[in-house]
Structure 1
Amino acid sequence: MVAAAPRVVVIGAGEGARTARAARLAGHYGVPRLSAVDVLIRRQPLPAAGYVVDGAPQLLDRVARFGGPLPVPAFADLVVHLRGAGPDGSGDAFRVIRYYEARGVLAGFRPDVPDAEIIVAIDAALRGRTAPQPPRWT
């Protein structure tokens, strides 16, 4: 069973491509698209019924510096990184991308990849979130 409340963050690429992709994903899932500026700087509360947030990796890093690393599983099922033709970034952007990658919530795609491929990755992340946990052997 797939959860009805996806929590997705779209980073990377140019602002226009990123915003358009985030809007299409939000429309597909029937959740609001929020700007990272509104969520992280203006402290807009996140809707319980799911959302798609879009923003530049550098913005996420600037916010993380004030309170330490962002608790990824607390606000995102998947971080969709729309990779450009060049390197993944440098400095702040590179650090944010590696942070999400190390926590297993980053999926990288070229900006021209069809929405369907990204939706498959999001659905897989949601299944992982809603799957029953194995029993703990103590």
Structure 2
Amino acid sequence: MVSAAPRLVVIGANEGARLARAARLADHYGIPRLPAADLLLRRRPLPPGGYVIDSSPQLLDGASGIGGLRPALAFADLVVLLHGADWTGAEEARRVLRYYEARGMLAAFPPDAPDGDLIVAVDAVLRGRTEDPPDGPAGGP
């Protein structure tokens, strides 16, 4: 069954813009915003009804090893990258972003893009979803 609420990861180098954007998207869809750092520390399960995770690009690189996030493909519909004109990211972050881009899971926007532009992208992904991603192991992402 397809859930109506999106499962998003919002990443960006500018913490203030990322947090504000993640909060606005969560509010728009009526779903919780979850800081990735808290998920790593608390290891709690993700809510089944959708969520917005805010993260730095480097946290996405933590594979499913001890203490690391599972790859976003396992628990997200879309990775939203907020990039600035001068943001280059670390080499590791670029590798991870190319991985999500190649799988059609990455949507990049400047931090000042209108919320409506992001919502259009998220809604398009939701329309294309045919099934929910598989549940992850107990203990969270």
TM-score of the alignment, normalized to the shorter chain, above 0.5? yes
With normalisation by structure 1, the TM-score equals: 0.83
Q: Name the Cα RMSD after superposition.
A: 2.1
CA deviations 1:4-24 (Å, max 9, x no partner) are 221000001311100000000
Aligned to 1:73: 73
Deviates more, 1:14-23 or 1:83-92: 83-92
In the TM superposition, 1:1-138 aligns within 5 A as 3-61=3-61, 63-64=62-63, 66=65, 70-130=70-130
With normalisation by structure 2, the TM-score equals: 0.82
Q: 1 or 2, which has the higher helix percentage?
A: 1
1:41: how far off? 4.1
How far, CA to CA, are the matches of 1:55 and 1:79 in structure 2?
10
Task: Report which of the two structures shows the higher radius of gyration computed on alpha carbons.
Answer: 1
How far, CA to CA, are the matches of 1:99 and 1:69 in structure 2?
15
Count residues with an aligned counterpart: 129
- What are the ranges of 5 or more consecutive residues in structure 2 without an aligned counterpart? 132-141
1:88: how far off? 3.7
- What are the ranges of 5 or more consecutive residues in structure 1 without an aligned counterpart? 132-138
8 Å contact kept, 1:23–1:33: yes
Aligned residues: percent identity?
66
8 Å contact kept, 1:3–1:127: no
Deviates more, 1:24-33 or 1:98-107: 98-107
Q: Which amino acid aligns with 1:38?
A: D
How far, CA to CA, are the matches of 1:50 and 1:29 in structure 2?
9
Q: Which amino acid aligns with 2:127?
A: R
